[in-house]
Chain A
């Protein structure tokens, strides 16, 4: 076939360029003859097919398009088995399996079909015989990819491993096949392309990639890749662990309003929404409400919910809407009680992910090569001044009261990793001048404050502090920062009826998942990301 193609191609170019030479004429003749032959065989094949179609179909009723399921029958006699469980059904007769057509190719009297269920795949085979007719094989070969099908089949073990599937030791001999929901024949992206491993150094491998925007435009298809399945299962794990661990530590989950009357922090980057005859804002952070819950005697609270930031920054780590995991806790005498609680919560989440989600982590690793996340237990706590000293030792000039710039932050992350071999650490005692007005100053050194940041792989994920719980002192600090106290009157008022000393912090769920897995873009860890340029799907 290849040879023939080459011939016709060269003949065409020859014909188009110059008067046909003797050799060229010969070639043309040859090509014409071949084309004739091809047409002949095609006609024969068609005739054969037609004959087959016309021939009595002894398998009719065992395949076809199923009518739309409207919950007419219960069909409780059909017992379905999930793909990972198939191995225990080998040699035990027929089973029903529902899944998607991952690929299907028919070749003469046989059809190989790979059935996918989430991240698990299994090979199915249809061969013309007593049970299966030629028409059935043809039908199976023509089912569009990604259609959902029901099959009844016999699991049998195979002598050689099937490398292309997750179930490598068995295949399914299909006896019945029904299409439940058909997919469009043309897909905007191929699942194989979307799940191809990203090996930058492997030059000889197939280099077809799916662009990030194409993925996000067709998120439903993109999410079917094994890596995405794993990412969002792991994300659910982060949320679950956060809730479980904090609940165990005596925290109460609260829900805070997302439509608020005044901007909680600053005010520049809030979304305005119309609210009947007035306008309202979307909450940038649940902080005020967390603190009010503390003042209302809830002692330890956390909240999981959407947070909105109207920041027009198109970076790999900013979203306009994300899920915030926030916690606030009253303490007895020292804010380190809270710092250690938050730090230990993180360590427990990391341990939970390491121990319970190793399969998901591995699945993500198949596509995106990253180093596993390392951490210490108990978490490493460095003081801001120590961090600055480490940077200076590395030859970076930075001031004592200067905030860490993004490159310095990353460098410090690398230095800490080189010295302590941990991807997670806490920086304590930030300079007072770079923190918000409600941060409690350090009583021992006026330059510093009782505030902390936590870092994963050199990027900040949590910023927290002991908050000032004394209204008079709060007013003093607000004035020092030049803040109009009338605008924050409600905030100050909430401390007037007695409030325990408290501290807390908040993290972005997407950012934590991204950094835990070492992914390069936060859009990979948000199911339907919102950024300044994307509002759909």
Chain B
């Protein structure tokens, strides 16, 4: 998390912030309630060129655009696969063609069919931040079968999906929620040309773009069968769980985790797909100096660095800012998961809001 610009807050300010966040209920600097997200403006399907696109602006001025494109690619022959046997002419493996037409392609997809690139101003594409972010987002996308299956055209061809994420503003806060929401919207608007050919033929597509089908199709009832996952950033301060932390809040977070979750239709509770702990920037904040070792307040300054750290470790000064240490408690984690996934929980809430966007625009 280091690369994010450090907030220049004094230990006293940090201590104040942290204290207010640990209250019950917590008092956030911008007045939100713990589960509230920053206000955002969003629109989807903004660009004519790509297969799907979206743009989201957070109220703190961060802004991202996502474009999605797809290309037809020839699938590699997997060793020992049915395809290889067919090519070698061993047995007419057509047994699944008739009865299980709807099952074709289930579980055949590969992770390499999704390619995500994230561009953040001031970062190279092989810097840790973009790589880590894209790993987190891709991981969530590929943790269910739906997307991979959708990219499967037939035994010989598949779509290769390119997700290009562009952060337009400097990364003022950790941009994970922003990018995740934008990607989610773009995927919802993404469409693939309609397939005209059958079975394992070379794919031919309908040249009418209007006929193209959604990457995340609607069921007959007008609801999405499946929706792309979202990745939320959650921080813990004392006993409080705070969603979508701003940069100031992150500066005093005790621990930060990214949770990827998706709601599947027909199931009450959202499903957690992935969890990652993130090294909070608060670890790098300057610690406050307790009065005891501050000569200005009549204390005795330790003579060496070793002395200083011993002094700090042994002190139990609560009133001075100390960068947080240690991990997340189990109880806390399960509390977070419950908040995220329960019916009407944060995921439900967010998805509902996003749906309104993609339908509304």
The answer to whether A and B assemble together is: no
By a beta-carbon cutoff of 8 Å, the part of chain A in contact with chain B is none
